[in-house]
Amino acid sequence: MTDRRTIRRLVGVYHANGTFWGELAYVIRSRFGGTHCSLCDITHGRVRVKEEWKSARAELPIPFDTVHLDERVPELIALTEGRTPCVVAVTDDLPVILLGPDELAECDGSPSRLMQAVRAAADARNLAY
């Protein structure tokens, strides 16, 4: 049996820019059948962050940060470009995409389902936190 690598933190990458204009553009596109972000559905309600998301994130033993497309560091850009929304596990050696757009869509807006999917994906990749 091989040693499990340790996840130091999780990073969720939204499929939207974080500026005022980026957020506004996302809202307009998503309302009229354009761009959609399943991670946004999981973490946010219509106006603000979901309480269920805050609770689920607080129960984790590691940080779970979220960033917008325009907030990614170069290492995340290289890993996630064209693959957002997604959840990345940051380990001591290499970051790993745990969940991509399809897996996030399967969570159907549920923070608890996201946490279950993260645990299953981490186990499948021999990662632990």
Residues contacting residue 111 through CB under 8 Å, at least 6 positions apart? 42, 43, 50, 52, 53, 55, 56, 57
The pLDDT value recorded for residue 20 is 59
Please state the domain count of the chain: 1
Range of the domain at 44: 5-128
pLDDT tens-digit profile of 23-81?
A: 555 555 656 666 678 999 999 887 789 999 999 999 999 999 999 999 999 999 999 99
pTM score above 0.85? yes
116, two tokens: 């279950």
The pLDDT value recorded for residue 47 is 75
109 φ, ψ (degrees, to nearest 5): 80, 5
Q: What is the mean pLDDT of the chain?
A: 89
Band (1; pLDDT cuts 50, 70, 90): low
Interstrand relation of 5-13 and 127-128 (parallel, antiparallel or unpaired)? parallel
Band (21; pLDDT cuts 50, 70, 90): low
The pLDDT value recorded for residue 36 is 77
Exposure b/e, 23-37, CB count within 10 A at least 16 = b: eeebeeebeeeeeeb
| CATH code for the domain of 76 | 3.40.30
The pLDDT value recorded for residue 78 is 96
Rounded to whole angstroms, the Cα distance separating 49 from 72 reads 20
**Residue 10 pLDDT > 60, yes or no?**
yes
The pLDDT value recorded for residue 30 is 59
